């Protein structure tokens, strides 16, 4: 190595004439930059003095063409009886006059500067490397402060930081080693029985095995390369991710649906309150209590609806959070190129967090029909002039939900001979209702007795008990007057005999209201009912006058 340095220097010395040295001494800055770049292409050995083994300081050239530090060659000749070249042993009977080789001196100075910059850069890069945080993989080679590992080698079973990884990136033999993202417990990738790399997967036992295991303990099993199973499971993970994303989307849509329902509920509540406030604003101070009770009742319904919606939204957002968290875990696992880690973590990540089926869950805006009516009824004597107008508006609103029902002939009971006089004839509608609102009217002016309303029974035969607990929400005109099917039954005192009765039902709110259509008066309301089955329109003349019930459309008539 030293000989090569001296030979290179001799070539430089002999190749540079006096005129060239003069040119170098007068070289421009640009030329010196080019020369500095050339010096970077030379190794450190080419700038070492063969006496002190350090980079040249004031280099001089002997007549034989070798270069030394001026001080080194001077001391060498001073301590020796002979004046000869330390390299080629050429003797000089007269000590040569030595002059500093300007070209080599500048090249050496440039090399020193480059070496210092490289050392500084290397030190800076190492200082910039982050120390490993808790939970991160440490470099197995670092002493003292452990730096964060950049890669793990499956051949060396060692994790390396950026500095200690360089041999694997430069040495040809180490370049062939398999590097992966840093992982802990590299020993888990080795078969404990055969000390071989776990690079196969047994589908029969659902476990990772080595090559020896695949031909011994798992000889007759379905064994595939680990990479192949990785692709299969990753494809399954991608599919599961898409499924979760779909679930998230559905829940986001459900959140929006709930919010829209709340908004509609609020708008309806605002409209109802506006009408109520306008109505009570014109009244005397004596009815302020009625106004406050109405306002509180409407607000309570709205608060209940908002609370129900908020609970749904909170539950949905929690499910979205869990699903998003699981999706992030899947994203992290999906991006991993570490086959073994992927397989180990696949089972814990592939499952979808427990969620609720929201398909049939919805928020129904509360109904406010009848609330103002009931409040005004308490001060009826003072509000006679305004009551009729108010009831008419109320009736017009519920009449928007009018349905046109037909009788179901299969449900008609014409009082056959085998039944005695205690049973009532009745008929149901051909359609049942399990959600929403509906309204119908029955003309009853030609009947001396009758019962009408709704029932959850889809087939009424023989003698029945008309009560809300038995699934009947009805208004009845009998010998005792007007009676509603509460428990116990409630007798009503009406100002006038209704000619046409309107029945309004809000299934989701559990509300059944009866109206005298002619006077637009509310007769009675069933509230807070619990409907779980279809509701059918119900009518019975409850008379023994021998008249028949016509099934093409009520003779009584349902409109």
Q: Give the DSSP letter string of 335-356.
A: T---HHHHHHHHHHHHSPPP--
With 0.85 as the threshold, say if the pTM is over it.
Answer: no
Question: Does residue 181 contact residue 336 with C-beta atoms inside 8 Å?
Answer: yes
Boundaries of every domain in the chain: 2-127, 230-350, 395-540
The number of angstroms, rounded, from the C-alpha of 373 to the middle of its chain's C-alpha atoms is: 47
Look at residue 411 in the predicted model and tell me its pLDDT: 63
Query: Three-class SS of residue 395?
Result: helix
Question: Does residue 535 contact residue 431 with C-beta atoms inside 8 Å?
Answer: no
Question: Does residue 429 contact residue 558 with C-beta atoms inside 8 Å?
Answer: yes
Look at residue 289 in the predicted model and tell me its pLDDT: 76
Q: Of the candidates 541, 545, 511, 540, which has an alpha carbon nearest to the alpha carbon of residue 525?
A: 511
DSSP state of 181: S
Look at residue 285 in the predicted model and tell me its pLDDT: 66
Question: Does residue 182 contact residue 137 with C-beta atoms inside 8 Å?
Answer: yes
Segment-wise mean pLDDT, segments of 10 residues, the chain, 559 residues: 37 38 41 43 72 88 90 90 88 87 84 77 60 79 85 86 88 86 82 85 92 89 91 93 94 92 88 81 72 84 87 89 88 84 81 81 77 72 72 84 72 48 66 89 88 82 77 90 90 90 92 91 90 89 49 37
How many Cβ atoms sit within 10 Å of the Cβ of residue 293? 14
Rounded to whole angstroms, how far apart are CA atoms 472 and 475?
A: 10
Look at residue 29 in the predicted model and tell me its pLDDT: 38
Question: What is the architecture of the domain spanning 395-540?
Answer: Sandwich (2.60)
Look at residue 512 in the predicted model and tell me its pLDDT: 95
Tell me which CATH code domain 2-127 carries: 3.30.40.10
Q: Give the DSSP letter string of 369-383.
A: TTHHHHHHHTTGGG-
């Amino acid at each position: 190595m030293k000989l090569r340095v001296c030979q290179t220097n001799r070539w430089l010395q002999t190749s540079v004439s006096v005129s060239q040295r003069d040119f170098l001494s007068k070289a421009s800055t640009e030329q010196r930059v080019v020369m500095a770049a050339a010096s970077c292409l030379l190794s450190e050995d080419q700038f070492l003095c063969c006496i002190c083994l350090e980079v040249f300081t004031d280099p001089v050239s002997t007549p034989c063409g070798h270069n030394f530090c001026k001080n080194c060659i001077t001391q060498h000749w001073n301590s020796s009886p002979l004046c000869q070249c330390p390299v080629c042993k050429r003797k000089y009977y007269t000590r040569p006059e030595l002059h500093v080789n300007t070209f080599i001196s500048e090249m050496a100075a440039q090399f020193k500067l480059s070496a210092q910059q490289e050392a500084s850069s290397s030190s800076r890069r190492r200082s910039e490397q982050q120390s490993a945080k808790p939970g991160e993989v440490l470099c197995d080679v670092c002493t003292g402060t452990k730096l964060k590992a950049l890669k793990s080698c499956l051949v060396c079973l060692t994790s390396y930081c950026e500095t200690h990884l360089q041999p694997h990136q430069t040495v040809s033999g180490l370049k062939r080693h398999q590097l992966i993202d840093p992982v802990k417990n590299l020993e888990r990738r080795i078969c404990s029985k055969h000390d071989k790399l776990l690079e196969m997967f047994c589908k029969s036992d659902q476990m990772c095995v080595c090559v020896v295991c695949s031909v011994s303990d798992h000889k007759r099993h379905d064994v595939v390369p680990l990479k192949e199973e990785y692709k299969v499971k990753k494809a399954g993970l991608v599919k599961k991710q898409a499924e979760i994303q779909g679930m998230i989307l559905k829940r986001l849509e459900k959140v929006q649906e709930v919010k829209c329902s709340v908004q509609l509920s609020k708008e309806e509540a605002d409209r109802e309150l506006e009408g109520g406030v306008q109505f009570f604003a014109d009244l005397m101070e004596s009815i302020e209590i009625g106004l406050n009770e109405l306002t509180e009742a409407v607000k309570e319904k709205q608060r209940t609806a908002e609370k129900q919606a908020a609970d749904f939204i909170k539950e949905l957002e929690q499910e979205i959070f869990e699903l998003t968290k699981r999706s992030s875990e899947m994203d992290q696992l999906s991006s991993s190129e570490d086959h073994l880690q992927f397989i180990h973590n696949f089972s814990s990540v592939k499952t979808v967090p427990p969620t609720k089926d929201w398909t049939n869950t919805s928020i129904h805006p509360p109904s406010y029909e009848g609330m103002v009516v009931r409040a005004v009824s308490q001060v009826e004597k003072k509000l006679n002039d305004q009551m009729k107008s108010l009831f008419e508006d109320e009736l017009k609103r519920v009449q928007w939900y009018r349905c046109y029902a037909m009788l179901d002939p299969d449900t008609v009971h014409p009082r056959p001979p085998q039944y005695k006089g205690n049973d009532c004839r009745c008929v149901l509608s051909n359609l049942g209702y399990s959600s929403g609102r509906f309204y119908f009217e029955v003309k009853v002016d030609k009947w001396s007795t009758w019962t009408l309303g709704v029932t959850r029974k889809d087939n009424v035969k023989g003698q029945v008990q008309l009560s809300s607990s038995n699934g009947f929400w009805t208004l009845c005109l009998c010998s005792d007057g007007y009676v509603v099917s509460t428990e116990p039954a409630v007798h009503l005192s009406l100002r006038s005999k209704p000619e046409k009765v309107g029945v309004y039902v809000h299934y989701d709110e559990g509300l059944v209201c009866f109206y005298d259509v002619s006077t637009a008066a509310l007769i009675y309301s069933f509230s807070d009912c619990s409907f779980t089955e279809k509701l059918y329109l119900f009518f019975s003349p409850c008379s023994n006058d021998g008249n028949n019930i016509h099934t093409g459309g009520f003779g009584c008539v349902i409109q």
